[in-house]
Copies of this chain bind each other. A is one copy, B any other.
Amino acid sequence: MTEYLREILSERQVSTTEDARAEHSGDWATLSEWVTPDPVEPDVVVYPETTPEVAAVLEAATERGVPVTPYAAGTSLEGNPVPVHGGISMDLTRMDSVLDIRPEDFQIDVEPGVMGPAVQEAAGDHGLFFPPLPSSGDISTIGGMIANAASGMETVKYGEVADWVLELEVVLADGSVITTGSKAPKTSAGYNLRDLFVGSEGTLGVVTRATLELAGRPAQQRGGRAIFSTLADATAAVKDVVTAGVDVAKIELMDTTAAQMSNAYTGASLPDAPMVFLEFHADHNVDDEITFCRDVIETHDPETFETASDDRMADLWEARTELAYALSEYDPDRQPLHAGDVTVPISEYGSVIEYAKQRGDEADLPVACFGHAGDGNIHYAVLVDDDDDGEVERGKRVYADVVDRAIAVGGTATGEHGVGRGKRRYLVDEHGEATVEAMRAIKRALDPTDTLNPGKMFPETADDGRLREPEN
């Protein structure tokens, strides 16, 4: 296969070096060695630069029964692009051009390897921006965001990445190139394949071009931070802000544990107490919206509620923006075992966080809860000593129990990180066997040889979902 790849691509687009293979055997999830305990390296890494090259590789791989796992920035959190069956890792980061921008239509056309900042820069030249970037948006690719149905802090106001994708060019496993969606703001012309590919984690096709919608950058932005005495007050305040219809652009929660870790890291003189971080976007009258928000929050006895503009916004938000680092640095002997990610109906938001905290207490492990509260999104990190098998096992149990509880209250096992390797066991629990079988039917229809990213998303089977061995 590698020989043939060198025929259809140029020399610099095919690599079998140990460095390249190792680099493409993991993502952020594999750092903890839980999701993919035995990282499998791809046999070869290809770097296509055009749609026809993607098509040629896929066609050849399908003919030869060689797995192809799309890869981009590697910032996914469930092992989504880890090539568990070897074969080809298809690295799309060289397809990184902004192809066109049409500011009158609020549209931009990009290749899949374009990263968040390049989109914002191109859009910013016209007073526009791409709102739904995930927290990793600065170092993630648009293709990866689409593949994993990403969303982020501003989803509470603007929606998910899926809501901002108008049209996709996708190469299927057999090498055929299709175009789904429309450059019109809406369409009812045939099946909505576009939103089927969004979130399909590279198992149905490879996105080679995306037309994204943009928004006008709001004239006014303000930040806010409320600190509460109790978690119950903080979660109730979040729920009321959302249900009252306050127009927030971000609303993030951190529990006492997360606050304590952040304060230790930043050295800020803030109390170790539940915090809610807010951002407001408006073209005018932003202060009226803040007054509305303050009225709602003050019914929940905040210790403080501060707002700020311009440079001061970043100061108010520091505890939240530094949290990821704070989690890693808090205890030299303990690291977050995994990036927990569930989403629940907002009415259950407080109860599921309380449950996570309780399970942490019972397991005698620190559990930090945070997340995009306005969407009912809960991120949580259990800190464990990797060398202590008992802690690791207790930690895994906490992660699993929180997912089970989220599903039990009508929520989802994965709000924004996708299924990948890590969440496969929950797919049937959440959707039921008949629904998962319908998903499998679609996988078989579009990729009958299971060429694309095999071993992901679907629950394990005896042969791990793939019978045939690649012929190299």
Contact = CB atoms under 8 A, between A and B. Distances in A.
B195 A245 contact: no
Nearest to A344: B184
A220 interface: no
A185 interface: yes
Contacts of A180: 431, 435
Contacts of A188: 148-151, 199, 412, 414-419
Interface stretch (A35-43, A98-106, A268-276): A98-106
A186 B375 contact: yes
A139 B414 CA distance: 38
Given A188-B199, A191-B442, A445-B445, A412 B345 contact: no
A52 to B, nearest CB: 14
Contacts of A195: 192, 195-196
Interface stretch (A18-26, A283-291, A328-336, A358-366): A283-291
A31 interface: no
A216 B246 CA distance: 10
A347 B411 CA distance: 40
A178 B345 contact: no
B182 A102 contact: no
Contacts of A283: 245, 247, 292
Contact of A187 (B159, B343, B439, B441): B343
A267 interface: no
A444 interface: yes
A239 interface: yes
Contact of A412 (B104, B187, B430): B187
Nearest to A176: B434
Given A102-B347, A185-B343, A431 B151 contact: no
A285 to B, nearest CB: 5
Contact of A423 (B155, B189, B439, B446): B189
Contacts of A176: 434, 437-438
Contacts of A436: 190
B199 A191 contact: yes
Nearest to A435: B178
Contacts of A415: 184, 186-188
A68 interface: no
Nearest to A348: B105
B216 A184 contact: no
24 contacts: A102-B347, A106-B346, A176-B434, A176-B438, A179-B435, A180-B431, A180-B435, A182-B343, A182-B412, A182-B430, A184-B415, A185-B346, A185-B376, A188-B415, A189-B427, A190-B199, A190-B419, A190-B430, A190-B431, A191-B199, A192-B195, A284-B292, A285-B288, A444-B445
Interface of A: 102, 104-107, 148-151, 155, 159-160, 162-163, 172, 176-180, 182-193, 195-196, 198-200, 204, 215-216, 239, 243-245, 247, 283-285, 288, 292, 342-347, 375-377, 406, 410-419, 423, 426-427, 430-432, 434-439, 441-446, 457
